[in-house]
Structure 1
């Protein structure tokens, strides 16, 4: 079977299963609309650590440990690990996952890292390079503010278009059918498989406002969704939900308008993880949530259970990322965006 589909997509002949997942989030996230669904919530956002960066590493460690515990597997069973975060040199990942001693592919796609990592892990499992692979991503409000904006002590004002970096980590275990048969395991509820992916391109619309991530990322999300529909020969009606990662309310409006200009109407079936995770008016989070952890914990805690229960049958998961750094911002560069599409189907 030819697995290459269109210009930038893959349709997996041997679609990998999502064996298990886990989510861990901070106190503010627990106070949002889906806060009761997270596996673990930390009352102290330092999670027992002295530094914000160490706290984020702890998030990743605990999320992966939890996912493996729920699946009844050990670190030695995992062939490859795909993981990343927002910090320089992905230090939350390297320090957090060091002790697992799993061969690691460090991934950086900004806030789209969950989609990129799921895509890469799915490719490995589908191709037979791994029977069991793990995906972990994280973000932390305080560590992200410290790196990209201002330390918390600065108490800077936030415009309404800004998004709030989610404190959280999501972990996923992807496996082959051979792994399930060999180990006598079955996913809880309906089996959820990654049946295809669409790898996004870097898109730059000239946005320079680092506080308006939705505007920077929406063009990339529109480009990825449009490419996906063309590559697979589908319309939005094929999906119960098309779920972007981190656009928030401002980015969602831009996305819908950009897709309407291409003759693609996602208004009815579209939602955004950054909108689902916070109650913006009540919690004062501006436009919504963002960060590597935003789409990861929302997928694990909110959307995967709906697929397993049969409430949803097919979703297109499209985490989005803003590709900037302190250096690029301080030098006056634009903020390009990227997005990656992952097709999840319950069977």
Structure 2
């Protein structure tokens, strides 16, 4: 069984293994910096469906099936599915998963959901409650813009602080046996709110939560940035990354050498006009299941700290003048030393 470390962290005594992973992305993502790492790139964002929301469900369903195939197990071997998305009442996940006929935990951590799902799936497996679980999430640019900002038909001009929601889905299969990197530690995050209200500057809203979780993880474990080959936050973009480096630096930890953000890695900002970078649940999910895990398989990285970040707002809260709370969940993934 796992053990409590410090105030927030869990260390797994029998670390669960990521035995399979899969992803699928939209055409803009497939034209970005990580295109060689994606399992499937769509030619258009509807993928034969009549709405963006239905397309997102189809994308998530495909990513989960891809991860199960990659794990070389049967669908029936999966005990629980942990997933969530950005749509109202998690409809993308609900309709993606309804035909699996498996127990489903619907999660909402905004864009931190890949971290939340991976943490809970790992806890279920390490605790002996399941042999195999799926952790997944998704997002869709058109659906997110429609729900959180402006209809695409409005054609509003986006400020340079804005990020571009990733159309895509990533999924992993976590097992108690099998070959692959292991989830060794997790640090669930707290809600952090410094009063940012600008929905077009999500990086600034989420950076304090990212810094809070990173600092908590370092304090709990006695580690620092030099203990990792890569530290990757979820979708802070250029502005949020800069703020995170500053906030973590004030606590005495230097992130200058091995820290990146998935929102910076996924797009070519100059060529693709994505302003501050990528965002959305799918941003960290496809970067993890594409670039990070595939590079870990090559031995490029052997120990990584993965910290998806989320902005916990809705149109209702923004319209009522509320600020934008943030949250970030940290997961340590290591290649086995055996």
Under TM normalisation by the shorter chain, which class is it? over 0.9
Does residue 1:344 correspond to 2:314, yes or no?
no
Quote the offset at 1:307 in angstroms: 1.0
SS of the equivalent of 1:295 reads: helix
Q: Give the aligned partner of residue 49 of structure 1.
A: 49
TM-score by length of 2: 0.98
Q: Tell me how far apart the structure 1 counterparts of residues 59 and 164 of structure 2 sit (CA, whole Å).
A: 18
Q: Give the aligned partner of residue 275 of structure 2.
A: 286
Q: Tell me how far apart the structure 2 counterparts of residues 221 and 251 of structure 1 sit (CA, whole Å).
A: 9
Contact preservation (8 Å) 1:75, 1:102:
no
SS of the equivalent of 2:291 reads: helix
Quote the offset at 1:2 in angstroms: 6.2
Contact preservation (8 Å) 2:305, 2:332:
yes
Quote the offset at 1:306 in angstroms: 1.2
Q: Tell me how far apart the structure 2 counterparts of residues 294 and 285 of structure 1 sit (CA, whole Å).
A: 13
| Alignment partner of 1:198 out of 187, 192, 210 | 187
SS of the equivalent of 1:14 reads: coil
Q: Tell me how far apart the structure 1 counterparts of residues 249 and 72 of structure 2 sit (CA, whole Å).
A: 45
Contact preservation (8 Å) 2:225, 2:254:
yes
Quote the offset at 1:74 in angstroms: 2.2
Residues matched between the structures, number: 336
| Alignment partner of 1:243 out of 232, 241, 250 | 232
Which stretch has the larger CA shift, 250-259 or 63-72? 63-72
Q: Give the aligned partner of residue 183 of structure 1.
A: none
Which stretch has the larger CA shift, 1-10 or 233-242? 1-10
Q: Tell me how far apart the structure 1 counterparts of residues 252 and 230 of structure 2 sit (CA, whole Å).
A: 18
Q: Which runs of 5+ in 2 are unaligned?
A: none
Q: Tell me how far apart the structure 1 counterparts of residues 93 and 319 of structure 2 sit (CA, whole Å).
A: 26
Contact preservation (8 Å) 1:275, 1:288:
yes
SS of the equivalent of 1:53 reads: helix
Matched ranges for 1:117-196 at <5 A: 117-177=117-177, 180=178, 187=179, 191-196=180-185
TM-score by length of 1: 0.96
Contact preservation (8 Å) 2:2, 2:14:
no
Question: RMSD in angstroms over aligned alpha carbons?
Answer: 0.9
Quote the offset at 1:73 in angstroms: 1.9
Q: Tell me how far apart the structure 1 counterparts of residues 71 and 117 of structure 2 sit (CA, whole Å).
A: 19
Q: Give the aligned partner of residue 261 of structure 1.
A: 250
Q: Tell me how far apart the structure 1 counterparts of residues 216 and 259 of structure 2 sit (CA, whole Å).
A: 16
Matched ranges for 1:57-68 at <5 A: 57-68=57-68
Contact preservation (8 Å) 1:75, 1:101:
no
Q: Tell me how far apart the structure 2 counterparts of residues 323 and 279 of structure 1 sit (CA, whole Å).
A: 27
